[in-house]
């Protein structure tokens, strides 16, 4: 006989299920645009309670960032990840994504989940960059020339084979004729100097940092350099304080510069850095600009308090990023611009030179601007990363999973169709094989699906594609408990028991089987949950919840319904 | 409707034949896996980049291949996806900078196929370190679930039943892996998840039979063990087939309807479930019977 409390439990669960699913139904009945608007609205509480779709269904981006803290000291290592986490949060908040999920994983990684993203490439760039801003003094042309000569001498005999530099060659003692390089460099320097003078402007603070118009630079071709000079033969020309290298040769030059021979002759306080932009070179193609800059920055982005975009005064269609420095930074900035009038200062972001303007006078007030041919988005993103600050150490994207909105929509459509077809087939089969009892089991299965969805919604878990697959799988398995019971009842009926006692005995005897088989399945679901990332966790969650709820619906609920039927009147024959 | 009513199949007499049916393909398969230099793993484990791209109109696959080769991705696998000429899957495995490679492929596609409305449907990149970590995690996940099962079954049933169940599960897993190797499918995270599900499902099946054996051991003490196990299988046969069918229906629907992203996952489930049902009836029960025979023989000798 069924105890009274069982009715209460079942009714309570039914009421709770409906209540828990109301927000979800409300949310998904809204048109798509309204849903997006509501997701940002903190007051719409029912949105929070609605069942969320996983990134693989609504489209979005899952990134795992790893901090490379190998160059940090023990002290800095301790809070490095927390700082990165804060900076990433900052950047994402300013980027404007509804419901981002950013959290630490272990002691070196950060997981960033951005649902419903329109431009994943841009987001990845924004989140992944270190954003270390530095101001560094550029070595003048007359300082570069001897370095280039030294490099030519040191790299004699070094050969590049594919992507590998062979440094086993013998370095000859005798210095080659380096006068040509020196001459060319001298010419370039005088050209650049005279050019600077001609474009000097009045002392409005922002125009002082503007870059020289490219057309006025004088290119000095380095044609006199012979082929046997291993380094300088890669240089096309010298241009405004930089050596121009054909884009195609860039990798080769990088390799040459990284050899120990080259490292020995490059002055210790200096290093070569590339410009962010390229420019057309003679004879077609694009050239990269290689500057020799001081290693030690005069100022870094940590002195920055704000960064904003404004239109370029010379060309309003372009945007600049202007920044404000803190008090100390402003004083430093004023001092070193005053000390270096007429020289170039490189504005370096993540070891790439953004611009290298000539300082025309001392700049007070702690304000400056970065020019360059930024698009609106680029300028905006640069301002965001400058405001949010730089990572204390480089960060790599070690895992990325991005699903575009179109694939998400297709996946929802096809998986929903699969679920519907699957339900119909299982119900049809159960009705065919167990008649009315099969229909009852099917009802229990539908109830089971609803409870599982309600649990997912209230646990704030999201529904993923493998999650739906798991749910479809439990359609088949949730009827298993009923199958076990029905088979037992049939056996009991064969022993010529009455319908009522056969039912009770069937449920009673099948119970341990159901318990054992479900608990073992639950072990694997738990392991899956531990092991899985994102979507697989979703699968494990629905599988685990599904197993638990199917015990409730298939055992408790169907038993109660049977008893309701048999207690009212005497049933001679059971439809099973 | 009732199938297998009063079934009295003699499964046990055919157990040696069954052993052959199971062992031969597994041995051949494992040899083939070794000769192929291991299993074909997806970027989840090998590390690398996957880009699924949809075009507005059909683009010949050779054209995409050509573009990828010219862009310096000579080792890229380029295939049509989901049976459509408009969808192409590009995979580059074992690259150091997976995220950077993804960016490059994205921009090459955007540039070269600008006329075909490029839609980046899916981008996945897994760094080599994460890939090998996932490999270890998958390995331990399988080990942990097997250990958990041994503990539970030994506690609730008997130790020999736990061992028999585990052997049956290893059998199912190997069979599925061999299928993957022979059909040249890739082992991905989703496939490992499916394998773990199969372990759970197949065990579920086995438990039902063992449960009946446990019960019959108490009620029919006189019967010899082999025929008792045989009776237990027959008594539960109807349930084994019915549950097997409803689950397999669901999985087949998944394979046909639920789209290409989930297909490998569903195919793994299907293979595993068919093999799992078979191994419940034959492998697991056979092992406890053989174990019993061996023990009786030894006792007689003593």
Give me the pLDDT at residue A43, please: 66
In a domain, B226, yes or no: yes
So what's the pLDDT on residue A216? Answer: 39
| A49 in any annotated domain | no
Structure tokens at A195: 């050019």
pLDDT tens string A408-417: 889 889 999 9
Among candidate residues B97, B126, B155, the one where a domain is terminated: B126
pLDDT (tens digit per residue) in B82-91: 778 889 999 9
Do residue B62 and residue B100 come from a single domain? Answer: yes
My answer on whether A339 and A304 are in the same domain is yes
Longest CA–CA span in chain B (Å) reads 84
Residue A11 resides in a domain: no
Most B CBs within 10 Å, among A524, A542, A548, A550, to test the B interface:
A524
pLDDT band at A563 (very low <50, low <70, confident <90, very high): confident
Q: Specify if B4 maps to a domain.
A: no
CB pairs under 8 A between A and B: 221
Confidence grade of residue A190 (pLDDT, cut at 50, 70, 90):
very low
Whether B124 contacts chain A with CB within 8 A = yes
**In this predicted structure, what is the pLDDT of residue B99?**
84
User: Has residue A24 been placed in a domain?
Assistant: no
Structural contact between residues A255 and A328, judged by C-beta atoms closer than 8 angstroms? no
Say whether B259 sits in a helix, a strand or coil.
Answer: coil
Given CB atoms, is A515 within the 8 Å cutoff of chain B?
no
Nearest CA in chain A to B1: A433
Nearest to A361 by CA among A207, A212, A140: A207
Contact A466 B148 (CB under 8 A): no
CB contact under 8 A, A415 and B262: yes
For residue A534, the Cα-to-chain-centroid distance in whole angstroms is 14
Residue A570: which residues within 8 A CB-CB, separation 6 or more?
A: none
Residue ranges of E strands in chain B: 48-54, 77-81, 84-93, 119-126
Q: Both A411 and A538 in a single domain?
A: yes
Is the separation of the CB atoms in A403 and A75 below 8 Å?
no
Q: Are residues A141 and A124 in the same domain?
A: no
Q: Residue A200 pLDDT > 50, yes or no?
A: no
**Statement: residue A284 has pLDDT above 60:** yes
State how far the Cα of A477 lies from the Cα of A546, in Å rounded to an integer: 9
Contact state of A465 with B208 under an 8 Å Cβ cutoff:
no
Query: How many Cα atoms sit within 13 Å of A528 on the Cβ side?
Result: 31
Per CB-CB distance under 8 Å, the chain A contacts of B192 are 531
B 21-80 residues inside an 8 A Cβ radius of A: 52, 54
Q: What is the CATH number of the domain that holds B67?
A: 3.30.70.3400
Q: Please indicate whether residue A208 or residue A338 has the higher confidence score (pLDDT).
A: A338
Higher pLDDT, A567 or A446: A446
Structure confidence at residue A429 (pLDDT): 93
- Is residue B64 situated within a structural domain? yes
Q: What is the token pair recorded at A209?
A: 């940092």
What's the pLDDT band for A41 if we cut at 50, 70, 90? low
Distances (CA, A) of B230 to A145, A369, B221: 92, 85, 15
Nearest to B249 among A426, A469, A516 (CB): A426
Domain span holding position A102: 60-130
Is 90 exceeded by the pLDDT of residue A447? yes
| Cβ separation B253–A536 shorter than 8 A | no
- Do the beta carbons of residue A528 and residue A456 sit within 8 Å? no
> Given B102, B126, B150, which residue is the final one in a domain?
B126
Reported as a pLDDT band with limits 50, 70 and 90, residue A293 is: very high
Tell me which residues of chain B, numbers 238 to 267, contact chain A at a CB-CB cutoff of 8 Å: 238-239, 242-243, 245-251, 253-254, 256-259, 261-262, 265-266
Is the residue at A505 inside a domain? yes
Q: Which residues pair with A317 in a beta bridge?
A: none
Q: How do A395-403 and B119-126 pair as beta strands?
A: antiparallel
Pairwise CA distance, residues A58 & A291, whole Å? 46
Do B61 and B168 share a domain, yes or no?
A: no
Contacts of A563 (CB under 8 A, 6+ apart): A1, A2, A503
User: Residue B151 belongs to what domain range?
Assistant: 12-41+130-301
Give me the residue from B120, B127, B152 closest to A399, CB to CB.
B127
Instruction: Write down which residue in A93, A113, A130 finishes a domain.
Output: A130
Tokens of B95: 């690259």
pLDDT at A485: 93
Same-domain pairing of B251 and B292: yes
Percent of chain A at pLDDT above 90?
19
A96 shares its domain with A137: no
User: Following DSSP, what letter does each residue of A527-542 receive, concatenated?
Assistant: HHHHH--HHHHHHHHH
Nearest 5°: phi and psi at A191? -60, -45
Banded model confidence at residue A166, pLDDT cuts 50, 70, 90? low
Q: What is the pLDDT of residue A44?
A: 67
Confidence of residue A207 (pLDDT cuts 50, 70, 90): very low
Query: What is the distance between the alpha carbons of residues A433 and B242, in angstroms, rounded to a whole number?
Result: 9
Please give the average per-residue pLDDT across A314-325, as a whole number. Answer: 82
Disruptive mutation site among A59, A476, A511, A532 for chain B (greatest number of B CBs within 10 Å): A476
Q: Which of A525, A482, A507, A509 is nearest to A563 (CA)?
A: A507
State how far the alpha carbon of A373 is from the alpha carbons of A5, A311, A354, A388, B23, in Å. Answer: 74, 11, 10, 22, 68
Q: Which residues of B195-204 are buried (b: 16+ CB within 10 A; e: fewer)?
A: bbbbbbbbbb
The CATH number given to whatever domain includes residue A108 is 3.30.70.3400
CA distance A232 to A149: 8
Instruction: Identify whether residues A335 and A450 lie together within a single domain.
Output: no
Distances (CA, A) of A391 to A143, A334, B130, B139, B261: 32, 26, 22, 34, 36
Question: How far are the Cα atoms of A116, A318, B53, B57, B110 from residue B117, in angstroms, in the given order?
Answer: 20, 28, 10, 8, 8
Q: The complex's ipTM? A: 0.88
Residue A164 confidence (pLDDT)? 53
Contact call for B236 and A491, based on CB within 8 A: no
Give the tens place of pLDDT for each residue, A344-392. Answer: 888 888 888 888 888 888 888 888 878 776 777 878 888 888 888 888 8
Cα separation, A101 vs A89, whole angstroms: 9
Tell which residue, B33, B76, B54, has the closest CA to residue B185.
Answer: B33
Q: Indicate yes or no: pTM above 0.95.
A: no
Cross-chain Cβ contact A531/B266 below 8 Å: no
Reference A350, options A273, A242, A298; nearest CA is A273
When pLDDT is cut at 50, 70 and 90, the band that residue A40 belongs to is low
| 231-290 of A, contacting B, C-beta below 8 A | none
Q: Please give the pLDDT value at position A474.
A: 79
A308 domain-assigned: yes
CB contact under 8 A, B189 and A521: no
- For A523, the closest of B120, B145, B205 (CB atoms) is B145
With 0-12 / 13-18 / 19 or more C-beta atoms within 10 angstroms meaning exposed / middle / buried, residue A108 is: middle
Asked if A523 and B152 count as a contact pair (C-beta separation under 8 A), the reply is yes
Cβ atoms of B2 and B238 within 8 Å: the answer is yes
- Do you know the residue count of chain A? 576
Distance CA A418, CA A414 (A): 6
Task: Choose among A466, A521, A531: nearest Cβ to B141.
Answer: A531
CB-based contact, A484 to chain B, within 8 Å: yes
Task: Give residues 183 to 222 of B whose Cβ lies within 8 Å of A.
Answer: 189-190, 192-193, 196-197, 199-201, 203-205, 207-208, 211-212
In this prediction, the residues of chain B whose per-residue pLDDT falls under 50 are none
Q: Tell me how many degrees the CA angle A374-A376-A378 measures, rounded to the nearest 5.
A: 55
| B88 & B111 share domain | yes
Is residue B143 classed as helix, strand or coil in its secondary structure?
helix
Residue A27 to residue A49: CA distance in whole angstroms: 9
* Closest by Cα among B201, B249, B205, B203 to A472: B249
Spatial CA neighbour of A453 closest among A11, A15, A10, A18: A18
Position A275 pLDDT exceeds 60: yes
Mark whether A94 and A174 lie in a shared domain.
Answer: no
Is the pLDDT at A439 greater than 50? The verdict is yes
Last residue of a domain, one of B126, B152, B174: B126
Measured CA to CA, the distance from residue A115 to residue A299 in angstroms comes to 37
pLDDT class for A29, splitting at 50, 70, 90?
confident
**Same domain, yes or no, for B154 and B193?**
yes
- pLDDT reading at A10 higher than 90: yes
Six token digits for residue A261: 């021979």
Tell me, yes or no, whether B178 and B237 share the same domain: yes
User: Distance between CA atoms of A422 and B251, rounded to whole angstroms?
Assistant: 8
Q: Count Cβ atoms below 10 Å from residue B86 Cβ, excluding itself.
A: 17
How far is B296 from A472, CA to CA, in rounded Å?
45
- Name the pLDDT band for A186 (thresholds 50, 70, 90): low
* Burial of A406 (C-beta count, 10 Å sphere; 0-12/13-18/19+): middle
Q: Is B225 found in the same domain as B91?
A: no
Last residue of a domain, one of A130, A160, A185: A130
Number of structural domains (chain A) is: 3
Burial code (b: 16+ CB inside 10 Å, e: under 16) for B130-165 equals: bbeebbebbeebbebbbebbeebbeebbbeebbbbb
**Which pLDDT score, from 0 to 100, does residue A251 have?**
77
Neighbours of A159 (CB within 10 A): 12
Are residues B190 and A466 in contact, defined by beta-carbon separation less than 8 angstroms?
yes
User: Which chain A residues are Cβ-neighbours of B130 within 8 angstroms?
Assistant: 64, 398-399
Q: What is the pLDDT of residues A321-336, one digit of tens each?
A: 888 888 888 898 889 8
Show the tokens assigned to A230. 């291993």
Q: Are residues A502 and A562 in the same domain?
A: yes
Considering only residues B162 and A473, tell me which one the structure prediction assigns the higher pLDDT. Answer: B162
d(CA B155, CA B135): 31
Q: Quick one: B33 and B53 in the same domain?
A: no
Residue A321 tokens, joined: 């990023």
User: CA A527 → CA A56, A188, A252, distances in Å?
Assistant: 22, 68, 50
Would A18 be classed as within a structural domain?
no
CB–CB of A523 and B152 under 8 A?
Answer: yes
**pLDDT confidence of residue A489:** 92
Tell me, yes or no, whether B152 and B115 share the same domain.
no
Instruction: Identify the three-state secondary structure at position A114.
Output: strand
Contact B251 A476 (CB under 8 A): yes
Question: B270: which 2 tokens?
Answer: 């299907």
- Using the Cβ of A8 and the Cβ atoms of chain B, whether some distance falls under 8 Å is answered with no
Residue B6 counted as domain residue = no
Torsion of CA A150, A156, A159, A164, to 10 degrees: -40
The separation between CA B275 and the C-alpha centre of its own chain, rounded to angstroms, equals: 10
Contact B29, B181 (CB under 8 A): yes
Inspect the interface and report whether the beta carbons of B239 and A484 lie closer than 8 Å: yes
Q: How is residue B284 annotated by DSSP?
A: I
Is B146 in the A-facing interface, judged by CB distances under 8 Å? no
Cα B162 from Cα A361, distance rounded (Å): 84
What whole-number distance in Å separates Cα of residue A282 and Cα of residue A185?
Answer: 18
Burial class (CB in 10 A: 0-12, 13-18, 19+), A270: buried
Residue B228: its pLDDT value, please?
A: 93
Give residue B284's Cα distance to chain centre: 18
In the structure encoding, which two tokens stand for residue A35, read together? Answer: 């849903």
Please state the domain count of chain B.
2
- A156 SS3 class: coil
Q: What is the pLDDT of residue A438?
A: 92
């Amino acid at each position: 006989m069924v105890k009274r409390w069982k009715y209460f439990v079942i009714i309570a669960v039914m009421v709770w299920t409906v209540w828990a699913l109301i927000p979800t139904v409300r949310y998904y009945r809204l048109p798509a645009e309204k849903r997006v608007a509501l997701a940002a609205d903190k007051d719409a509480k029912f949105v929070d309670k609605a069942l969320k779709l996983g990134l693989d269904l609504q489209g979005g981006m899952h990134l795992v960032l790893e901090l490379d803290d190998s160059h940090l000291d023990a002290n800095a290592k301790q809070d490095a990840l927390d700082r990165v986490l804060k900076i990433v949060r900052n950047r994402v908040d300013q980027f404007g994504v509804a419901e981002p999920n950013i959290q630490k994983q272990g002691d070196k990684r950060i997981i960033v989940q951005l649902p419903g993203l329109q431009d994943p490439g841009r987001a990845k760039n924004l989140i992944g960059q270190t954003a270390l801003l530095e101001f560094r003094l550029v070595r003048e042309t007359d300082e570069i020339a001897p370095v280039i000569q030294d490099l030519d001498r040191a790299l004699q005999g070094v050969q590049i084979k594919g992507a590998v530099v062979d440094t086993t060659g013998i370095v000859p003692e005798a210095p080659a004729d380096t006068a040509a390089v020196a001459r060319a460099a001298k010419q370039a320097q005088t050209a650049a100097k005279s050019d600077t003078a001609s474009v000097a402007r009045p002392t409005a603070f922002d125009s002082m940092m503007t870059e020289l118009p490219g057309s006025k630079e004088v290119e000095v071709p380095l044609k006199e350099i012979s082929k046997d000079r291993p380094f300088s033969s890669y240089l096309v020309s010298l241009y405004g304080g930089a050596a121009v290298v054909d884009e195609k040769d860039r990798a080769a030059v990088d390799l040459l510069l990284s050899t120990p021979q080259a490292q020995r002759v490059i002055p210790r306080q200096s290093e070569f850095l590339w410009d962010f932009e390229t420019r057309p070179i003679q004879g077609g193609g694009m050239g990269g600009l290689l500057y020799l800059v001081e290693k030690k920055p005069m100022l870094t982005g940590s002195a920055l308090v704000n960064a904003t975009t404004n239109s370029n005064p010379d060309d309003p269609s372009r945007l600049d990023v202007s920044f404000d420095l803190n008090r100390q930074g402003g004083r430093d900035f004023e001092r070193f611009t005053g000390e270096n009038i007429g020289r170039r200062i490189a504005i370096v972001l993540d070891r790439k030179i953004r611009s290298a303007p000539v300082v025309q006078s001392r700049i007070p007030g702690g304000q400056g601007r970065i020019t360059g041919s930024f698009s609106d988005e680029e300028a905006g993103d640069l301002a965001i990363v400058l405001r949010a600050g730089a990572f204390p150490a480089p960060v790599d994207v070690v895992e990325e999973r991005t699903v575009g909105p179109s694939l998400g929509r297709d996946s929802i459509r096809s998986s929903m169709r699969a679920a519907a077809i699957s339900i119909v087939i299982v119900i049809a089969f159960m009705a065919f094989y167990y008649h009315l009892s099969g229909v009852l089991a099917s009802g229990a299965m539908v109830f089971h699906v609803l409870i599982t969805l309600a649990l997912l919604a209230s646990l704030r878990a999201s529904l993923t594609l493998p999650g739906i697959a798991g749910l479809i799988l439990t359609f088949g398995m949730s009827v298993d408990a009923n199958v076990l019971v029905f088979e037992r009842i049939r056996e009991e009926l064969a022993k010529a028991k009455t319908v009522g006692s056969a039912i009770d005995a069937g449920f009673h005897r099948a119970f341990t089987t159901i318990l054992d088989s479900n608990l073992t399945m639950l072990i694997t679901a738990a392991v899956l949950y531990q092991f899985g990332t994102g979507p697989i966790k979703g699968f494990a969650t629905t599988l685990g919840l599904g197993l638990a709820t199917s015990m409730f619906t298939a055992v408790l609920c169907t038993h109660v319904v049977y008893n309701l039927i048999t207690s009212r009147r005497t049933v001679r024959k059971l439809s099973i | 409707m009732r199938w297998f009513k009063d079934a009295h199949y003699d499964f046990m007499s055919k157990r040696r034949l069954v052993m052959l049916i199971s062992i031969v393909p597994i041995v051949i398969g494992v040899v083939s896996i070794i000769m192929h230099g291991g299993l074909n793993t997806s970027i989840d484990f090998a590390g690398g980049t996957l880009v699924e791209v949809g075009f507005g109109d059909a683009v010949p696959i050779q054209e995409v291949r050509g573009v990828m080769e010219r862009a310096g991705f000579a080792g890229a696998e380029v295939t049509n996806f989901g049976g459509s000429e408009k969808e192409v899957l590009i995979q580059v495995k074992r690259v150091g900078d997976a995220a950077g490679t993804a960016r490059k492929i994205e921009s090459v596609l955007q540039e070269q196929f600008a006329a075909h409305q490029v839609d980046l449907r899916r981008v996945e990149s897994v760094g080599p370190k994460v890939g090998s970590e996932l490999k270890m995690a998958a390995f331990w996940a399988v080990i942990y679930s097997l250990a958990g099962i041994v503990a539970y079954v030994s506690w609730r049933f008997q130790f020999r039943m736990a061992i028999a169940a585990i052997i049956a599960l290893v059998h199912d897993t190997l069979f599925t892996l061999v299928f993957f190797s022979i059909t040249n499918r890739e082992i991905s995270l989703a496939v490992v998840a499916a394998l773990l599900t199969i372990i759970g499902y197949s065990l579920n099946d086995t438990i039902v039979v063992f449960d009946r054996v446990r019960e019959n051991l108490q009620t029919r003490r006189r019967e010899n063990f082999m025929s008792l196990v045989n009776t237990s299988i027959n008594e539960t046969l109807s349930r084994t087939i019915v549950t097997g069918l409803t689950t397999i229906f669901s999985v087949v629907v998944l394979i046909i309807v639920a789209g290409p992203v989930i297909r490998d996952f569903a195919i793994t489930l299907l293979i595993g479930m068919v093999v799992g049902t078979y191994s419940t009836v034959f492998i697991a029960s056979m092992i406890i019977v053989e174990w019993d025979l061996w023990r009786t023989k030894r006792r007689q000798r003593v």
